[in-house]
Amino acid sequence: MKIAIIQFGGTNCDMDVLHVLKDVVGVDAETVWYKEESLTGFDGVVVPGGFSYGDYLRAGAIAARTPIMDSVKKIAAEGKPVLGICNGFQILTEARLLEGALTTNEYPKFRCHWTNLRVETANTPFTSKFRKGEVIRLPIAHMEGKFYAEEPTLAELDENEQVVFRYVDEKGRATDKANPNGSLENIAGIVNTSRNILGLMPHPERASESILGSDDGRRVFESMADYITENF
C-alpha cells in the first residue's frame, strides 16, 4: 500500500501528514509534487492543508485546476480513498469532487483553536474506527472554512448521510456557539455520494498523538489504511 500526499506551491501540512502516515500509523506514503501527472502505483491520496498559491482568487481555486487533479479524479473514480484536509477540502470542492463551497468565516478572522466534533457516520472509509455520535477533538486553523451549499444540496447531503463531522459543544450539541465559522448546519466535513472522498476543515494530522493534546485524528488515517488493505 502506498498513499500519495499532494504538494502544491504553498502547501504546508504535507510533512505532518507524511509523519503521521509513516511513523504513527505505519503505512507507506510519499509526497508528490503537483507537476507529476501520474499517480500510478498509489492506492489513496491526501490533499493536505496550507495556502496553495496564496489562496489567490479563492482558497483552493488555482490548485483545483492543475493537471495533477485529473489524476486525483482518476484515482477517486477507481474507488480509492481521497482525503482533503482544510485547504485540501477547499481544493476538492473547487474541483467539484465534493458538493458545496468553503467561504469566508462568518466573523472574518483567521481562527485557530480546538473544536469538538460529532462523528455523524461511521459508514465511510475514513470513519470506520469511530462510533456514530462520538464526540472527538480536532483543531481548526482557517479563515475560509464556512461550508455553504444551496438548500437542495444540503437536503441531499443529509438524506444520503454524507455529512461526516459537525461542530458541536462538549455535550455533543450542534449549537451556534460551537460553530467556529458559521458553516451551514454546523458542517465540518462531508463525503461524496460514493463515500470515498472526504473533505474536512479540522486537522486530524495535528491530533494524531496524545502528546499533542488529542489522538482522535489518528483513527481517520487508520480507517483509511484499513479500507485500502481490505479493498485494493
Partner 1 sequence: MQYQATVTIEQKAGMLDPEGTTAKRALGHLGYAVESVKTAKLYELVLEAESAEVAKQKVDEMCQKLIANPIIHNYTIELKELK
Using CB under 8 A as the binding rule, the residues of this chain from 105 to 134 that contact partner 1 are 105-108
* SS3 category, 191: strand
Q: 480509492: which residue's cell?
A: 80
Query: Which listed residue (13, 86, 120, 222) is catalytic?
Result: 86
The answer to whether the CB of 48 falls within 8 A of the CB of 6 is yes
Which one of 24, 31, 36, 101 is in contact with partner 1 (CB under 8 A)?
101
Distance CA 1, CA 197 (A): 18
Please confirm, yes or no, whether 205 is among the known catalytic residues: yes
What value, to the nearest 5°, has the Cα angle with vertex 68 and ends 65 and 69? Answer: 50
Least CB distance from residue 109 to partner 1, whole Å? 9
Distance CA 98, CA 116 (A): 23
Please confirm, yes or no, whether 13 is among the known catalytic residues: no
Binding mask 64-83 for partner 1 (x = CB under 8 A): -x------------------
Q: Can you name the residues that pair with 4 across neighbouring β-strands? A: 30, 45
The answer to whether the CB of 75 falls within 8 A of the CB of 224 is no
- Alpha helix segments (H runs only) across 78-215: 87-94, 151-159
Distance CA 117, CA 188 (A): 8
Q: Which span sits near partner 1 by CB under 8 A: 14-22, 55-63, 120-128, 134-142?
A: 55-63
Residue with smaller CB distance to partner 1, 183 or 223: 183
Least CB distance from residue 19 to partner 1, whole Å? 33
Burial class (CB in 10 A: 0-12, 13-18, 19+), 106: middle
Which one of 24, 73, 182, 226 is in contact with partner 1 (CB under 8 A)?
182
Q: Which span sits near partner 1 by CB under 8 A: 21-29, 46-54, 67-75, 145-153?
A: 145-153
Least CB distance from residue 115 to partner 1, whole Å? 19
Least CB distance from residue 110 to partner 1, whole Å? 13
Which residues are identified as catalytic? 86, 203, 205
Residues that bind partner 1 (CB under 8 A): 57-58, 61, 65, 94, 100-101, 103-108, 148-150, 182
